Amino acid sequence: MTQFNLDLVRRLSEAAGVPGREENVRAIVRAEIEGLVDELGEDPMGNLVAVRRGTAPEGERRRVMLTAHMDEIGFMVRHIDERGFLRLQPLGFFDPRHLIARPVTVWGAEGPLPGVMTPGGRPVHIATPEEQKKVPDPREFYVDLGLGADAVRSRVRVGDSVTLDAALREVGDLVCGKALDNRAVVALQVELLRALHAAPPRHDVYAVFTVQEEVGLRGAGPAAYAVRPDLSVVLDTTLAVDTPGVGPDEAVTRLGEGVGVKLFDASMISTRWLVDELVAVAEEGGVPYQLEVLPLGGTDGGPVQRSRAGVPTVTLSLPTRYIHTVVECVHRRDWEAMLDLTTRYLTR
């Protein structure tokens, strides 16, 4: 079983890549998988499509589509005011409780600019009791670059991307950082292709690194339309709410207890025979797994499943604590179980 690739996860986590600006992540992935696959290309949406041909006779081979999205939640500059403060358009869903007083980077045409993001209003020392209790709306936040308005306008344009800053670090048995949704799984799909290079699959595998998942699952649908898969296994993260203040019925998954095999989320209901096949493979191989029901949220599985006349689809999930923050945490054992199960399924 392949061990957790900490170096690759670190480089992917710390790379910038908001929806529509995934080029830095795509470059890392391309460099890692060139030479491992039979075909490699980029579609008009920016999805990176890697093909590993199977060993079965051509007339018997099916097309298996995998996806792992490259983008992270972030922001876009929507306005520069008269004093040089930047107003932001969220790209993806944020819990504003986790955004106050955050270091950020603004990616201008001439290079990255460090900044501080915080909501407008009075500091706590002079705020009213009502203001202290208020949870700000994400659109109330601004970025301070510490520069005058003219200097800001010469370096920043409306549409430039803004990312939250956080270095990856190990915390006990966990690995924590920004954008592990879904960069930890992007790294997993890279390692999967490495495994399939050594032990080819029976069927053709189309491993797609998708774009713009966080703003409406936008990249996967066009990719599925082009690939025309016979079935699809979507690889993504999911909630692990195994923390104080939440009942066990709401945990969704728990860290360290294995890969999540998704049954339901707001975007799709997994194809039951695929769920049953993956569970059987996990049990035969002694791979730890958890059955997952996610009440809200979705994955690339939704648009893939609905592509053309419909595609049998299932999602495998990496349990993640504190999702959509800069301290997303995953467990090495879950990552390794997810990779093990996917590899066994494709090569059996």
**pLDDT tens digits, one per residue of 169-181:** 999 999 999 999 9
Residue 81 shares a structural domain with residue 190? no
Nearest CA to 47 out of 168, 267, 225, 178 is that of: 225
Q: Coil, helix or strand for 143?
A: strand
293-312 mean pLDDT: 96
Q: What is the pLDDT of residue 1?
A: 63
Query: Is residue 110 included in any domain, yes or no?
Result: yes
Q: What is the pLDDT of residue 129?
A: 86
Number of domains in the chain: 2
Query: Is residue 172 included in any domain, yes or no?
Result: no
57-62 mean pLDDT: 92
Using pLDDT thresholds of 50, 70 and 90, give the confidence band for residue 139: confident
Query: Is residue 282 included in any domain, yes or no?
Result: yes
Set 213, 214, 257, 336: catalytic member: 213
> What backbone torsions phi and psi does residue 334 show, to the nearest 5 degrees?
-65, -40
Give the position of tokens 């696959």.
37
Query: Is residue 246 included in any domain, yes or no?
Result: yes
Residue ranges making up the domain that contains 137: 75-164
CATH number at residue 135: 2.40.30.40
10-21 mean pLDDT: 98
Of 101, 131, 164, which marks where a domain is finished?
164
Query: Is residue 171 included in any domain, yes or no?
Result: no
> Is the confidence at residue 281, as pLDDT, over 90?
yes
Query: Is residue 103 included in any domain, yes or no?
Result: yes
Q: How far is CA 87 from CA 30, 120, 131, 134, 276, in A?
A: 33, 10, 20, 20, 48
Question: Which of 132-136, 192-196, 216-220, 226-230 shows the lowest mean pLDDT across its residues?
Answer: 132-136
Of 164, 189, 206, which marks where a domain is finished?
164
Q: What is the pLDDT of residue 57?
A: 93
**Single-letter amino acid code for the residue at 84:** G
Structure tokens at 313: 């689809």
Give helix then strand counts, H and E, for the chain: 9, 17
Q: Catalytic residue at 213?
A: yes
Residue 57 shares a structural domain with residue 79? no
Q: Using CA atoms, how far apart are residues 18 and 135, in angstroms rounded to an integer?
A: 24
Q: What is the pLDDT of residue 95?
A: 86
Residue 83 shares a structural domain with residue 56? no
CATH number at residue 262: 3.40.630.10
Q: What is the pLDDT of residue 61?
A: 94
Evaluate whether 32 touches 177 at the Cβ level (below 8 Å): no
Query: Is residue 96 included in any domain, yes or no?
Result: yes
Q: Coil, helix or strand for 240?
A: strand
Residue 157 shares a structural domain with residue 65? no
Query: Is residue 1 included in any domain, yes or no?
Result: no
Residue 79 shares a structural domain with residue 67? no
Residue 218 shares a structural domain with residue 294? yes
Residue 58 shares a structural domain with residue 109? no
Q: What is the pLDDT of residue 210?
A: 98
Average pLDDT, the chain: 96
Residue 111 shares a structural domain with residue 254? no
